[in-house]
Amino acid sequence: MSATATPAISIVLPVWNGERHVAEAVSSILAQDFTDWELIVVDDGSIDATPAILRRFKDHRVRVLTMPHRGLVPALREGVAHARAGWIARQDADDLSGPARLAAQWAGVRHRPEVVLCHTGCEFMGSGANHVQGAHLPQTMALLAVKLCFSCPIVHSSVLFRKSAYDECGGYCEAERHAEDYALWSRMVATGTVLGLGRRLLAHRLHAESMSVRQAALRVPYSESVSLRNCRDFLGLDEAGARRAFAVLRQPPGEREWSEWRWFLSFCLPRLRWRSAELCSWLLAQTLRQMFRQRSRRTDVA
């Protein structure tokens, strides 16, 4: 791609005091098999060595925007606003994209006009990785919608989304900070198809200094608000029903009351507009796990 040509993909990478990992993150984009991209690094007022590190990269596809420190959501909005491509990829400054990531995502979306968002599986690395259990990545709209009713199964750094859908949904919102990605994906579900690629094409770093760890407690009320909205919208429930469904779904199998799980299956699930064999398999696994754990508890008591 020449310096003046419009790229196929714009990658937005915000960074604030990211001197430990940002060079490795940028290098992982430079190493992509797919080459028709621009990388927009938004330096959110870093006061460490981040600006000096970014100046070392001479590739014409790497653009650095410098702004006063205002936080993640303004940095994301700034990056997307400056993007020239019709598709936006995301990466955090402490994560790594595998060489095949952009090529696989571009192949998945380029001939499918109905797709508005593509996400991938990921590997966990860093000091907190040993405490994270792998989860099934939803690959159909049906399972994704149900999971969005109680959690965010999409890793932010793994996404590629259509810029027009982003604009239609209102983009990242400051009022939803700490859950800005979860809220955006939930709104995008109403605009088109979400494509999940099962391959692990991203390495997501977990460490004590990461934004996700430092802001975990702040995220809870914002995330719960998004979950409840999804229960209302996707399952056609009133406020009381949405709170009940959220309470059922967020509980691990074996801790749910059977009456509540039956209520969800018989009353809520038929209201979901999407269907898939993947969702049926997930629901069956949840039910069997609940039966096994409750039977084990009864055996222990006896």
List, for residues 264-279, the tens digit of each pLDDT value.
999 999 999 999 999 9
Domains and CATH numbers, the chain: 9-224 (3.90.550.10), 225-301 (no CATH)
pLDDT at 66: 98
pLDDT at 131: 42
List, for residues 231-271, the tens digit of each pLDDT value.
999 999 999 999 999 999 999 988 899 999 999 999 999 99
pLDDT at 213: 53
List all residues 6 or more positions away from 143 whose beta carbon is below 8 Å from its beta carbon: 276, 278, 279, 282
Model confidence band, residue 126 (pLDDT cutoffs 50, 70, 90): confident
pLDDT at 21: 97
Residue 19 has pLDDT above 80, yes or no: yes
